[in-house]
């Protein structure tokens, strides 16, 4: 649950709770430090976004909404080695899908390379930056340790003129990669190692996806990021805890470069999910090894995978609200995410009948060749979803486990001699069954009582079991995929010996012969439904076609999670 919350009562006595970032923003606005709120989500386009990024997106976007401010999507594309335009497109799609509107506010850090270069010149002219010729190893050596202060570089006292000249020549490509760097001149004995003359520019001949070969020097993250924020007029630069120690440098950069309304960095704890993989390296390996069918495999928690699995933006928002914003690291449970999607779909989606492991049920006293259409509520808890017609006739499919030859105690479904209700239809009594040569049940026989039709007001007798069914002649044959966690939870996420993921061998079950009621025939990618008694399912966006429908189970109906526990 969220920590660091205060509860305040406003004039209407309505209880409003604020997280610690909102408290800071309130203070800044009250003290006139800022007169508006501008936030940003700054992904590096080097991979697909995952559920952790969704937290950052929804937090930043949510704050911009709450304070009537502006939200920016900015690609932090200052490091050309790993970046790909493919990721830019997938990230935009994911941010949009989550409902974070960045219309008119889409930015690329690489568009600021000229300004960053000028900022570096400003620092040199103020005597706050110098060109250093030490090798990477020497720089590391001179930096000192947590216990020992660093030593000044022998190049630290170069004149401003010499630095200006060398930096320009670095830019012009006169020196080999890695032979020189530009460093901020701060304090080699600072307790915070980030302040010991950090590197702010390096030479690297790399082709950039946006600027091509224009540059052979590139700014370092700690120098570039605050400048990007400041150029865009970001007020609150919200990032995760590992940047806390970099904040003094962030503040130094915006101050020394001379921005008039410098942004402010605030850190919060990352979202961690128990027994879930988010690391790019691990997912890449699962993809390469063919264990998952891509970054959007429904067992993963990339945003595209969650979308394909059938999660909704609303469910992810609810999850983020329940998990809260905090300064303390903690871990949330995947069961809470499942709870949120159930809550979201419960009243919104029709409840339909689908048989995932079929056997035939023949109602021997039902007229051959006759079909009747039964009127059925789409969702008993939400009348607004209306009604639909479901065909019924002599031959149906039921789930294999709804019939037993020799039932144990308390089994109230079909067995020879027992009467049950066929959901939305009639009472039927089992009169017999057929088996194949191996003794497997192939057909169950029953008789129905026409008096007992659902909705007819029949009160003559009661039955203890209700089972669902689909009409055999009109059923849609489909493929259904059931999922478990890709991680073997008993073994833990990672194999300690080789550092790979402990994969759950049962994470995917494909059911090839499932029968769905015909109302599903026009279902499109991402449409979702409750399959009664079996969970929530969505049409798979990658593999489903009108001739071969494929459904993913989003989540089963049973929950182990209750909010507030």
Interaction site with ligand ATP (CB under 6 A): 42-44, 46, 52-53, 55-56, 239-240, 270-271
CA-CA distance, 374 to 455, in Å (whole number)?
10
Rounded to the nearest whole angstrom, what is the least distance from the CB of residue 324 to ligand ATP in the complex? 12
Rounded-to-integer distance, Cα 191 and Cα 152, Å:
15
| CB closer to ligand ATP out of 270 and 533 | 270
Q: Residue 376 CB, nearest distance to ligand ATP (Å)?
A: 43
Q: For the CB of residue 43, give the shortest distance to ligand ATP in the complex, in Å.
A: 4
Q: How far is the CB of 301 from ligand ATP (least distance, A)?
A: 10
User: Residues 534, 356: contact at Cβ < 8 Å?
Assistant: yes
Distances 185 to 155, 163, 249, 320, 465 between C-alpha atoms, Å: 11, 12, 11, 41, 78
Choice between 52 and 518, CB closer to ligand ATP: 52
46 φ, ψ (degrees, to nearest 5): -125, 20
> Whose Cβ is closer to ligand ATP: residue 40's or residue 553's?
40
CA–CA dist 385, 376 (Å, integer): 11
* Cα(402)–Cα(528) distance, integer angstroms: 24
Q: Which is nearer to ligand ATP, 107 or 403 (CB)?
A: 107
In the bound state with ligand ATP, the residue whose beta carbon lies nearer, of 52 and 416, is 52
Query: Which residue number, 43 or 298, has a Cβ lying nearer to ligand ATP?
Result: 43
- Considering Cα of 35, then 31, then 265, then 321, what sign does the dihedral take? negative
- Choice between 56 and 315, CB closer to ligand ATP: 56
Nearest distance, CB of residue 34 and ligand ATP, angstroms: 20
The CB-of-40 to ligand ATP minimum distance in angstroms stands at 9
Alpha helix positions (H), 200-270: 221-232, 247-257
> Residue 73 or 541: which CB sits closer to ligand ATP?
73
- Strands (E) located in 175-313: 181-184, 199-203, 217-219, 236-240, 264-268, 272-273
Q: Could you tell me the CA-to-CA distances from 196 to 156, 184, 299, 509 in Å, in that order? A: 12, 8, 44, 55
Question: How far apart (Å, rounded) are the C-alpha atoms in residues 98 and 110?
Answer: 25
What's the full length of the chain, in residues? 565
- What's the min distance (Å) between Cβ of 313 and ligand ATP? 17
CA gap 99, 328 in Å, rounded:
27
Residue 260: burial class (beta carbons within 10 Å; 0-12, 13-18, 19+): exposed
Q: How far is the CB of 224 from ligand ATP (least distance, A)?
A: 12
């Amino acid at each position: 649950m969220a920590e660091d919350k205060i509860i305040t009562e406003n004039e209407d006595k309505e209880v409003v709770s604020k997280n610690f970032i909102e408290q800071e923003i309130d203070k800044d606005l009250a003290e006139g430090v800022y007169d508006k709120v501008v936030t940003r989500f700054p992904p590096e386009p080097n991979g697909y976004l995952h559920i952790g990024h969704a937290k950052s997106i929804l937090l930043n976007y949510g704050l911009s909404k709450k304070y009537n401010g502006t939200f920016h999507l900015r690609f932090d594309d200052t490091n050309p080695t790993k970046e790909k335009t493919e990721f830019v497109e997938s990230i935009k799609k994911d941010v949009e899908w989550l409902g974070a509107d960045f219309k008119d506010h889409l930015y690329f850090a690489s568009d600021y390379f000229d300004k960053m270069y000028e900022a570096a010149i400003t620092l040199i002219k103020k005597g706050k930056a110098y060109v250093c010729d030490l090798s990477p190893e020497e720089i590391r050596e001179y930096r000192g340790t947590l216990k020992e202060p660093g030593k000044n570089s022998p190049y630290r006292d170069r004149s401003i003129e010499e630095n200006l000249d060398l930096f320009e020549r670095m830019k012009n490509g006169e020196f080999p990669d890695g032979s020189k760097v530009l460093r901020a001149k701060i304090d080699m004995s600072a307790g915070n190692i980030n302040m010991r003359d950090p590197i702010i520019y390096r030479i690297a001949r790399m082709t950039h996806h946006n600027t091509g070969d224009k540059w052979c020097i590139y700014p370092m993250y700690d120098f570039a990021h605050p400048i990007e924020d400041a150029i865009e007029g970001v007020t609150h630069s919200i990032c995760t805890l590992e940047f806390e120690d970099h904040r003094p440098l962030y503040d130094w950069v915006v101050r020394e470069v001379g921005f008039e309304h410098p942004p402010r960095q605030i850190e919060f704890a990352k979202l961690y999910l128990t027994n879930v993989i988010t690391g790019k390296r691990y997912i890449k390996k699962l993809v390469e090894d063919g264990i998952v069918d891509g970054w959007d495999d429904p067992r993963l928690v990339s945003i595209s995978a969650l979308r394909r699995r059938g999660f909704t933006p609303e469910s992810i928002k609810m999850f983020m609200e329940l998990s809260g914003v905090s300064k303390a690291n903690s871990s949330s449970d995947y069961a809470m995410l499942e709870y949120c999607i159930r809550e979201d779909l419960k009243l919104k989606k029709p409840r339909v009948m689908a048989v995932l492991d079929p056997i035939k049920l023949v109602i021997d006293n039902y007229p051959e060749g006759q079909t009747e259409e039964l009127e059925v509520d789409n969702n008993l808890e939400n009348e607004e979803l209306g009604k639909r017609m479901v065909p019924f006739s002599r031959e149906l499919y039921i789930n294999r486990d709804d019939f037993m030859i020799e039932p144990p105690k308390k089994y109230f479904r079909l067995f020879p001699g027992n009467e049950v209700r066929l959901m939305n239809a009639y009472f039927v009594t089992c009169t017999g069954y057929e088996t194949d040569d191996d003794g497997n049940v192939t057909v169950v026989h029953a008789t129905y009582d026409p008096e007992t039709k659902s909705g007819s007001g029949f009160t003559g007798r009661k039955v203890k079991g209700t089972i669902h069914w689909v009409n055999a002649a009109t059923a849609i044959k489909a493929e259904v995929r059931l999922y478990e966690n890709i991680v073997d939870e008993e073994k833990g996420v990672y194999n300690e010996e080789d550092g790979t993921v402990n994969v759950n061998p049962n994470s995917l079950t494909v059911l090839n012969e499932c029968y769905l009621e015909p109302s599903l025939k026009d279902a499109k990618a991402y449409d979702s439904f409750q399959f009664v008694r079996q969970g929530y399912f969505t049409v798979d966006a990658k593999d489903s076609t009108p001739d071969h429908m494929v459904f993913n189970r989003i989540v089963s109906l049973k929950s182990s999670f209750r909010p507030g526990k």
